[in-house]
A and B are shown apart, each in its own frame.
Chain A
Amino acid sequence: MLQDMQLENIVGEYKEVTLNLYGSIPRKIYYTDIETPYPDGKLIVSTTDKAGIITHVNQSFVEMSGYREEELINAPHSILRHPDMPAVAFKDLWDTVNKGAKWQGIVKNLRKDGGYYWVKATVIPNIRNGQVVGYTSVRRKPSRTKVNECIQLYPTLF
């Protein structure tokens, strides 16, 4: 399961909050105002099993999240859950992929060092021999206009 974030990893002035992951499991997180810009030309890729446990990440994922690959594999994807993200966004994500459809949205992600990065994510079910075996998310660089819209919108969704 997910450990609380560790203060020794946090860079800069931080705030503290406890998130209820999976609706009930508390995780203490620390977060800062430091944004890491999305790297030009790269895609951030991860795959999960049906329960949202990470099974694969690419190098850009490792670099942007700040975690080592070993820390990410077998962790729930909510390891990146940022307190500024409204829960309805992820409910919509899961409702959509559970129907077998593609989900797309702008997501603010939490780094291991407490900082954040914005992505435009697309999540699809991985179908093998007619069965859903997991999910893949591919993130690309979002436009600043889209990010600014979400900065306005997301606080209204709590």
Chain B
Amino acid sequence: MSYTFTVSPDFSPNYLAGWYIFNTWLQIQTGEAIHFELYDDFQAQRTAIQANQIDLIYANPFDAAMLVREKGFLPLVKAEGISDEAIIAVNANNPVEDVAQLSTGIRVAVTEDPDVHMIGMIMLEAGDLDASNIQTCFCNNHILIVKNLIQDKVDVGIFLAKAFDDLSNLTKKQLKILVRSQISVIHHSLMISPKLAERRTEIQALLLSMNNDDKGKNVLNSLGFNAWAKVEDEEMEFMIDLMDTLII
């Protein structure tokens, strides 16, 4: 039997090679044939999930409810110490210091990453802004958001905080952070489909001990973190409930 592994389409291009290496590691460790499949966008990935074509996924929190509650996926692990946070930034020359000073009609640049978009919108809501009174400009990646901000083609950018923090200092100097989220309980998670449920404990143990040898450590480093941390069922349910309160 062969399985399919996929990663939330918002992964950073810096880690593309890392995910391929991780997939190879998984195949060796589990002794299974696992095919790594990437989707162009969230919609295409959701269609594949609905069609039961996915067995393992590094999932965006936004899709966790559908995966767990509709498709019976089970959480395994998350990247240790990493949560999904968003930053609202403007051009450094913009006199605005607080989202409350932003006016309606502004152009807001975001990527397709649904949880970052959602967290960003919640922070803009404090300034009476919502999808109906701003212009949303979707960008393929955060570099394009930066470009649009610097060239004054948009007024506000919503960034994954990690992506913003990884920008060069020169770039960051041209931008100004208005607000950074500190939520800490919203995170991507590696999950398995019910087809692999019987092997859950075993695969979880493999992942949790991955940082104990040099080979595993190198694979983790190529993904941008140091270890996996276990995600209990109730932690996942709690995150899904939390996302649910934020979706309206």
Contact = CB atoms under 8 A, between A and B. Distances in A.
Pair from one complex: yes
Interface of A: 38, 40-43, 45, 47, 58, 102, 104, 120, 122-124, 126, 128, 136-138, 140-146
B125 interface: yes
Contact of B100 (A124, A137, A144): A144
B140 to A, nearest CB: 26
Given A41-B181, A143-B127, A128 B245 contact: no
Given A41-B181, A42-B183, A144-B100, A124 B244 contact: yes
B175 to A, nearest CB: 17
A38 to B, nearest CB: 8
B180 interface: yes
Interface string B228-248: 000000000110011011101
A143 B241 contact: no
Nearest to B177: A41
A45 B126 contact: no
10 contacts: A41-B123, A41-B180, A41-B181, A43-B246, A102-B248, A141-B126, A142-B126, A143-B127, A143-B128, A146-B128
Nearest to A42: B182
B122 interface: yes
Contacts of A38: 126
A104 B248 contact: yes
Interface in B97-143: 100, 122-123, 125-128
B179 A122 contact: no
Contacts of B241: 124, 126, 136
Contacts of A145: 128
